[in-house]
Amino acid sequence: MSILSEQELRKKELEEQKLKMSILDMKIAYFKSRINPHVLFNALNFLYSESLDLSKELSKGILTLSEILRYSLRDIEDDGKSLLVEEIAQIKNLILLNQFRFGKEIHFIHHEKGVTKTHKIVPLILITLVENALKFGEMTDEHNPIKLNIEVNNGKLRVSLENKKKTETLLSVEGYGIGLKFITYQLDRYYQKDYILKIDDKEEFYTVTLEINI
C-alpha cells in the first residue's frame, strides 16, 4: 500500500477542485443557453411599451429589470471581469426594483469612496451579496437599515454589508445559502489568495466583509 506524498495529495486536490469548477461552469453555460436573450428582451420591450400609458412606476420597474438582466446575461471580457462602476449601477437598480416592489419602504444606506472607471471586478459578486441582504434581511426597519460600504484604496477593494435578520428562520427561506456558494466559487476561481471573505453571523445581525486585491 503506497502512501501519497504531500505534493501528490496537493496535486490531487487541485485536480478535484478544477473538476468541480468545470462542472459548475458547464451548469452556468447550460443555464444561459436555455435563455434566448433576444426573445426575453423583446418581451420586456413590449411590456414596457404597453405599460407607459398605464403606470409610470410600472414602466420604470420593467426598464430597471431589463437593465439588470442585460448586465447579468451579457458576455464578459476575456479577463472575466466588468467595470466596478457598472456593478454598482446594477446594485442601485436592484435596490430601486425592490423599492417598486415594496412601496418604497426599504431602508438601505449606501456609501462608496475611491471608486473610479478603471477599477474592475468579477461580475455579480457584489450584486449577489446585496440580493442576499434584501432577500434574507429586514428591509423595513428604519432604525436598522441595510448598510453597504464600498471603498477602493491602494488597489484594494473593501466591501462591508450589514443587515438585521428577519424574524423567520433563514433555513426555511427558499434559496438560502446558494448565493454564498456562488460568491465563494467565483472568488476562489478568479482571485484565489487575493481576497478575504469574513462572515459575522450573530443572533440578530448578519455582516459580510470582503477585501479583494484589484
CB-based contact 100:63 (threshold 8 Å): no
CB-based contact 161:201 (threshold 8 Å): no
Length of the chain: 214
pLDDT digits (tens, 9 = 90+) for 100-126: 887 768 899 999 999 999 999 999 999
Return the domain boundaries, the chain: 103-214
pTM comes to 0.77
pLDDT digits (tens, 9 = 90+) for 16-73: 666 666 656 655 554 555 556 666 767 777 777 878 888 888 888 888 888 888 888 8
Domain 103-214: give its CATH architecture: 2-Layer Sandwich (3.30)
Can you name the residues that pair with 151 across neighbouring β-strands? 113, 158
Q: Band the pLDDT of 1: cuts 50, 70, 90.
A: very low
Q: Return the number of other C-beta atoms located less than 10 Å from residue 134's C-beta.
A: 19
CB-based contact 108:145 (threshold 8 Å): yes
Give dist(CA 181, CA 13) in Å, integer. 19
Give dist(CA 116, CA 18) in Å, integer. 33
Contacts of residue 95, defined as CB under 8 A and 6 or more positions apart, other chains included, come to: 106, 108, 110, 130, 134
Handedness of CA 15, 193, 196, 122 (dihedral sign): negative
What is the secondary structure of the chain as a DSSP string?
A: -----HHHHHHHHHHHHHHHHHHHHHHHHHHHHT--HHHHHHHHHHHHHHHTTT-HHHHHHHHHHHHHHHHHHSPPPTTS-EEHHHHHHHHHHHHHHHHHHTTT---EEEEEES--TT-EE-TTHHHHHHHHHHHHB--S-TTS-EEEEEEEETTEEEEEEEEEBPSS-GGGSTTTTHHHHHHHHHHHHHTTTSEEEEEEE-SSEEEEEEEEE-
Is 70 exceeded by the pLDDT of residue 4?
A: no
Q: Band the pLDDT of 87: cuts 50, 70, 90.
A: very high
If we measure between CA atoms, which residue out of 164, 168, 71, 67 comes closest to residue 126?
71
